[in-house]
A = this chain, B = another copy of it.
């Protein structure tokens, strides 16, 4: 006992349980017991320990705690693309809330655009011993997750190469609803803009086609526009091109929120140039802020994105705790149409292109 106080542990080192134990004049185990609920400790002793904890400002080291085998860490990982997309931001926020309520933190892996980036990020996260992974998967194969020993929940779209829980929206139904809505108003030539072929987009297209078939209307394949990128810019360009055709569509279905923005941007430009021969109806997929405040409020097929995040987190938490041992689940959230105006324009709405 050369030193009463551990000299080095003065300012920059956080106190440990041993410090607390010494301070309270008890053993290490007792401190641990008090910290973890205090069962089986005499009240008086517990008081002393708690006092020492307070005085020292002790805080349990979660990292060391998680090192014990069996004891899973209390953090989940969330892997997604662009937080700047309100769609992903909603998922992040919602899952964060649910996780937080159960005392879990959420680690966000940095995800580059490249396909390998996601894999690297995921492995990074796994090496951090997270208790589970929520992944909005990119297109690559995710078989490498099979033996990861960590529960995985995919969000928004399934991944190939692995059978895991998946929480998503009814993309096909949404695509169908959008097309049905337009067809019901007499539109026969409906363009559909597709972001690079993610799973979701394929399903939306399928619903789109199905509605056409049910209505006995043929889909003009030249109006099924596959974009090189899922950006507003790409959609803007494509819209300009398609609307300048002699046989321009009377309606446009934009398969994502960003694409809808691009469509509207293009229409605005054409309109201002007096080159819009007719005003097409527009329906977007996924709601977005200010959609109702644009010159023509935008009709969209929407779903409860926050619920997507919440469900994913809840499911993952149950898997991580071992509470839920069912086979992989498949949760599908419904879509609904929100009519605002842009999607209710009848075919042949007057444009402003000067004759000739």
Contacts and interface: CB of A to CB of B under 8 A. Distances in A.
B293 A123 contact: no
A345 interface: no
Contacts of A96: 83, 108, 110
A151 B176 CA distance: 52
Contact of A294 (B4, B101, B294): B294
Which of A57, A96, A128 has the most chain B CB atoms closer than 10 A to its own CB?
Answer: A128
A270 interface: no
A147 B75 contact: no
Interface stretch (A46-54, A60-68, A201-209): A60-68
A214 interface: no
Interface string A321-347: 000000000000000000000000000
A107 interface: yes
A144 to B, nearest CB: 5
A114 interface: no
B63 A67 contact: yes
Contacts of A73: 63
Question: Which bucket holds chain A's interface residue count?
Answer: 35 or more
B110 A107 contact: no
Interface stretch (A7-15, A21-29, A165-173, A177-185): A7-15
Contacts of A149: 5, 10-14
Contacts of A302: none
Which of A14, A106, A108, A293 has the most chain B CB atoms closer than 10 A to its own CB?
Answer: A108
A107 to B, nearest CB: 5
Nearest to A6: B147
A265 interface: yes
A63 B264 CA distance: 49
Given A93-B83, A289-B290, A7 B264 contact: no
Nearest to A74: B128
A318 interface: no
A17 interface: no
Copies of this chain held together in the complex: 2
Nearest to A265: B293
Interface string A23-51: 00000000000000000000000000000
A268 interface: yes
B110 A106 contact: yes
Interface string A51-93: 0000001011111101100000101000000111010011011
Contact of A147 (B7, B105, B126, B128): B7
A109 interface: yes
Interface in A277-296: 288-290, 293-295
A111 B92 CA distance: 12
B4 A144 contact: yes
Given A11-B147, A268-B293, A289-B290, 6 more contacts: A8-B147, A13-B149, A63-B128, A83-B89, A84-B89, A293-B295
6 contacts: A4-B144, A11-B147, A61-B127, A63-B73, A105-B107, A293-B295
Interface of A: 3-14, 57, 59-64, 66-67, 73, 75, 82-84, 86, 89-90, 92-93, 96-97, 99-101, 103, 105-112, 121, 123-129, 143-149, 261, 264-265, 268, 288-290, 293-295
